[in-house]
Chains A and B, each alone.
Chain A
């Protein structure tokens, strides 16, 4: 990439973001896509032939469309036109998934441009949104090829142009979780493209694809993605709004015309979480947390209802803390969200994202295990039980320390870290330079881990004594007394950690997080242990409740099931009522 190209990138980025010059007709990023020169006449002929074939195919495809799908598309379109957020939510959350199960389990949904566009009179906003769904489904259920990846990117550009264009945003509203899914999927595909590209360059010898990738360095470029996210944040004045909320003022006072629209508000808020994720993927953990400055995790926000956004936020926040060696903050973040997941398990079971939630929570248990091994902490009882079930053996091995524990750290880290990516296009000419970013971050992380290898051993000895001589301990450990002195200082220093108390996520104070404290007096080690008494009352109450549950099982009456049944009945009633209402309309 030459200098000029880069400057152009940034100029474009700053022009679009800094001044948000969205009013002119220039599209947001589609103009970055190269147009190749062909022989005009030949092109025309080919096009005509192609058009005719396409028309035939389309007619056939439209005719073959199952009635249920056709009706759904029409109704979906109708809801969007009417701005009926409630029913849009139903279409998006339920009908689409139901029809997917029925008709498109292993095949793509009907082609957006060939089949769906004619059905809805080429209504652009709808076709774009449908296309987004079409590709999201394709990514989830099938293998997208390079063409799909390019096309999906183009579609995002069209969609973002549409909503950034101040003349059009009209009063369009989308269900909140749909807005989240769009941001989430946009970053997922950006990430996926980067991995696909580096894999293609590293492993495959598909010259044609490599050539295509070389020719489109702007497609899915980091600048474009950052551009979109920052634009949303600035246009909605989300940081100013969050600031106002913190100070107890009305956010609409600072929101401006655009920022008070619910569409911008939601996209603005979720873009902040999007940035958290993008920065983490690129290895910039400090900036990732800094981006979250305005968001107060200890307060409930109205976006907290979008479960996916919650999981993502806490996963990345926890991960960044871990990488900054703020293990107690990381543990707090993971515990919080894992507890939330286990309490709301019933809901996720039914949702389409069930698999991804399960995977995410397994990753977070693994990360929690790493953090607990590096920073022994008393966990919430139910989290502790699940952690022992899932990663008990690994945790025990990590807690034992020493060389043997290293592969366990590596394994858990690789399993649970985000899919790290490099910023720019790979080095096409020297494939050897393209080192997998995961390996890089793993290596740096393991350097930290290796320095603490001796800590668990020291801990296990120190726990047994109240005073001890360095010489004596050195004999036990078969190491040099002077090295041990250093190791003890390391031990002491590891027990001090920056921990958040209030303010932004990066703030914090140095506190003692260990229950075992030492001080050196010449060659004498003074050891003290802070013992936290058990809460007997809680323990008895909890076990009484457990005993009741066992009793009920024996007597074969399960009050919880009963409750669930009542709940279901109520929901069915509500659904039927709604259906009636719709019918009478």
Chain B
């Protein structure tokens, strides 16, 4: 984890104080951290350590747990995929919440179907939904992700991320990172479906704004500078040097044998 993620510059001093002292165990700080989650949702900032500290307070004081905040923390952590933040948050939730979670996988496809809601617990169902969204993101199954999110059949998906301002653009940025990492060029169509724009214009604007060094050539988006994706066969030469000391055992052996024979 780069240290900027551990202590984001947007973190106010009072939160820093809570996180670095024993007040992180003080149930009274719950409200402060809850408000901080709301701030993160509103302003687009993000602070993993503070959010995990809040979940820990919930773990210690289950009666203080606010469903809405738990879900917001999870929704926020979706925006930094493919970092493991979502998973780290899940580990701190009450075990009963995920107890019924299971996805059905389709043969010949890597993309699982949505989880079945087989519990009456509202929170548990919502956590299942967010977990499913997280799976789609981490499988880079973006067309499915957007389809589920905008589904008319199950509107709750959209509701769950509604509190997070700029959720869609944050996800697009995450997708863009993966694209920049692994591609030298790709089709406009791919951009359209992965970023979920309604028109090619949207794609064009996005490339211009978010992908410096990339240009649109015909129906392709092409990298002009060589970055991470540059792939060339690299052969590390075998280190051929051996230190003289490494032969000590061999030399001693020869010497001893000489002694034995005489």
State the A residues within 8 Å of B (CB): 1-3, 6-7, 10, 13-14, 17-18, 222-223, 226, 230, 282-287, 290, 323-325, 422-424, 433-437, 439-441, 443-444, 447-448, 451, 453-454, 466, 478-480, 482-483, 485-490, 492-493, 496, 498, 503, 506-510, 517-522, 526-538, 541, 544-545, 548
Alpha-carbon distance between A424 and B25 when the two chains are bound, in angstroms: 14
Known pairs A436-B95, A437-B95, A490-B138; A6 contacts B110 (CB<8 A)? no
29 A-B residue pairs with Cβ-Cβ distance under 8 Å, sorted by A, are A14-B25, A230-B22, A285-B91, A323-B91, A423-B59, A440-B91, A440-B98, A443-B98, A444-B91, A447-B135, A478-B108, A482-B143, A483-B109, A486-B141, A486-B142, A488-B182, A489-B181, A489-B182, A493-B181, A498-B1, A518-B231, A522-B187, A522-B220, A528-B231, A528-B233, A531-B236, A533-B237, A544-B249, A548-B253
**Residues of chain B from 119 to 161 with CB closer than 8 A to chain A in the complex:** 131, 135, 138-143
A529: chain B residues at CB < 8 Å are 233
B84: chain A residues at CB < 8 Å are 324-325, 448
Alpha-carbon distance between A490 and B239 when the two chains are bound, in angstroms: 33
**Residues of chain B from 21 to 65 with CB closer than 8 A to chain A in the complex:** 22, 25-27, 48-49, 52-53, 56, 59-63
Alpha-carbon distance between A434 and B62 when the two chains are bound, in angstroms: 13
A522: chain B residues at CB < 8 Å are 185-187, 220
B240: chain A residues at CB < 8 Å are 536-537
Asked whether B96 is an interface residue with its Cβ less than 8 Å from the other chain, the reply is yes
Of the candidates B26, B95, B235, which one forms a contact with A10 in the assembled complex, judged by CB atoms under 8 Å apart? B26
Alpha-carbon distance between A287 and B49 when the two chains are bound, in angstroms: 8
Asked whether B10 is an interface residue with its Cβ less than 8 Å from the other chain, the reply is no
A489: chain B residues at CB < 8 Å are 140, 178-179, 181-183
B96: chain A residues at CB < 8 Å are 433-435
Alpha-carbon distance between A3 and B28 when the two chains are bound, in angstroms: 11
Check A451 against B139 for contact (C-beta < 8 Å): yes
Asked whether B173 is an interface residue with its Cβ less than 8 Å from the other chain, the reply is no
Alpha-carbon distance between A466 and B232 when the two chains are bound, in angstroms: 10
Check B183 against A520 for contact (C-beta < 8 Å): yes
Top 7 closest A-B pairs, CB basis?
Answer: A533-B238, A440-B95, A492-B182, A519-B229, A486-B140, A435-B95, A537-B242
B220: chain A residues at CB < 8 Å are 522
Alpha-carbon distance between A509 and B53 when the two chains are bound, in angstroms: 23
Check B6 against A14 for contact (C-beta < 8 Å): no
B135: chain A residues at CB < 8 Å are 447, 451
Tell me the smallest distance from the CB of B93 to a CB of chain A, in Å.
8
Check B109 against A284 for contact (C-beta < 8 Å): no
Tell me the smallest distance from the CB of B174 to a CB of chain A, in Å.
10
Check B1 against A508 for contact (C-beta < 8 Å): yes
Known pairs A489-B140, A519-B230; A286 contacts B62 (CB<8 A)? no
A518: chain B residues at CB < 8 Å are 182, 231
Of the candidates A226, A454, A493, A498, which one forms a contact with B2 in the assembled complex, judged by CB atoms under 8 Å apart? A498
When each residue 209-239 of chain B gets 1 if its CB lies under 8 Å from chain A and 0 otherwise, what string results? 0000000000010000000011111111111
B242: chain A residues at CB < 8 Å are 537-538, 541
Interface residues on chain B, size class: 35 or more
Check B184 against A284 for contact (C-beta < 8 Å): no
A528: chain B residues at CB < 8 Å are 231-234
B91: chain A residues at CB < 8 Å are 283-285, 323, 440-441, 444
Tell me the smallest distance from the CB of B44 to a CB of chain A, in Å.
22
Asked whether B92 is an interface residue with its Cβ less than 8 Å from the other chain, the reply is yes
Check B246 against A541 for contact (C-beta < 8 Å): yes
B181: chain A residues at CB < 8 Å are 489, 492-493, 496
Known pairs A286-B88, A519-B184; A443 contacts B101 (CB<8 A)? yes
A287: chain B residues at CB < 8 Å are 52-53, 56
Check A533 against B235 for contact (C-beta < 8 Å): yes
Asked whether B250 is an interface residue with its Cβ less than 8 Å from the other chain, the reply is yes
Check B139 against A286 for contact (C-beta < 8 Å): no
Asked whether B207 is an interface residue with its Cβ less than 8 Å from the other chain, the reply is no
Check A506 against B98 for contact (C-beta < 8 Å): no
Check B60 against A483 for contact (C-beta < 8 Å): no
Tell me the smallest distance from the CB of A156 to a CB of chain B, in Å.
20
B110: chain A residues at CB < 8 Å are 453-454, 479, 483, 486-487
Alpha-carbon distance between A435 and B99 when the two chains are bound, in angstroms: 7
Alpha-carbon distance between A479 and B242 when the two chains are bound, in angstroms: 49
Tell me the smallest distance from the CB of B94 to a CB of chain A, in Å.
8
Alpha-carbon distance between A545 and B249 when the two chains are bound, in angstroms: 8
Alpha-carbon distance between A155 and B222 when the two chains are bound, in angstroms: 70
A285: chain B residues at CB < 8 Å are 88, 91
| Given contact pairs A6-B27, A223-B60, A503-B3, a sample of 10 additional A-B residue pairs in the complex whose CB atoms are under 8 Å apart | A10-B26, A325-B87, A423-B59, A451-B139, A498-B1, A506-B6, A507-B6, A532-B236, A536-B240, A544-B250
A503 to B, closest residue via Cβ: B3
A17: chain B residues at CB < 8 Å are 22
Asked whether B114 is an interface residue with its Cβ less than 8 Å from the other chain, the reply is no
Of the candidates A283, A324, A482, A535, which one forms a contact with B238 in the assembled complex, judged by CB atoms under 8 Å apart? A535
Of the candidates B60, B190, B231, which one forms a contact with A485 in the assembled complex, judged by CB atoms under 8 Å apart? B190
Alpha-carbon distance between A3 and B249 when the two chains are bound, in angstroms: 70
Asked whether B170 is an interface residue with its Cβ less than 8 Å from the other chain, the reply is no
Of the candidates A18, A448, A479, which one forms a contact with B22 in the assembled complex, judged by CB atoms under 8 Å apart? A18
Known pairs A490-B140, A533-B239; A520 contacts B182 (CB<8 A)? yes
When each residue 192-222 of chain B gets 1 if its CB lies under 8 Å from chain A and 0 otherwise, what string results? 0000000000000000000000000000100
A17 to B, closest residue via Cβ: B22
Check A508 against B95 for contact (C-beta < 8 Å): no
A520: chain B residues at CB < 8 Å are 182-186, 229
Of the candidates A6, A535, A541, which one forms a contact with B61 in the assembled complex, judged by CB atoms under 8 Å apart? A6
Asked whether B166 is an interface residue with its Cβ less than 8 Å from the other chain, the reply is no
A537 to B, closest residue via Cβ: B242
Check B92 against A284 for contact (C-beta < 8 Å): yes
Alpha-carbon distance between A223 and B24 when the two chains are bound, in angstroms: 13
Tell me the smallest distance from the CB of A478 to a CB of chain B, in Å.
6
B236 to A, closest residue via Cβ: A532
A440: chain B residues at CB < 8 Å are 91, 95, 98-99
Of the candidates A226, A444, A510, A532, which one forms a contact with B90 in the assembled complex, judged by CB atoms under 8 Å apart? A444
A440 to B, closest residue via Cβ: B95
Tell me the smallest distance from the CB of A195 to a CB of chain B, in Å.
14
Of the candidates A439, A490, A530, A537, which one forms a contact with B99 in the assembled complex, judged by CB atoms under 8 Å apart? A439
A530 to B, closest residue via Cβ: B234
Tell me the smallest distance from the CB of B54 to a CB of chain A, in Å.
12
A540 to B, closest residue via Cβ: B242
Check A509 against B2 for contact (C-beta < 8 Å): yes
Most buried by B among A435, A498, A522, A545: A522
Alpha-carbon distance between A544 and B253 when the two chains are bound, in angstroms: 11
Tell me the smallest distance from the CB of A230 to a CB of chain B, in Å.
6
B111 to A, closest residue via Cβ: A483
Alpha-carbon distance between A528 and B52 when the two chains are bound, in angstroms: 39
Tell me the smallest distance from the CB of A80 to a CB of chain B, in Å.
33
B226 to A, closest residue via Cβ: A519
Check B231 against A444 for contact (C-beta < 8 Å): no
Alpha-carbon distance between A2 and B27 when the two chains are bound, in angstroms: 13
Check B95 against A439 for contact (C-beta < 8 Å): yes
Alpha-carbon distance between A290 and B49 when the two chains are bound, in angstroms: 10
Tell me the smallest distance from the CB of A246 to a CB of chain B, in Å.
16
Known pairs A444-B87, A448-B84; A530 contacts B235 (CB<8 A)? yes
Tell me the smallest distance from the CB of B219 to a CB of chain A, in Å.
10
Check A10 against B141 for contact (C-beta < 8 Å): no
Asked whether B247 is an interface residue with its Cβ less than 8 Å from the other chain, the reply is yes
Check A536 against B183 for contact (C-beta < 8 Å): no
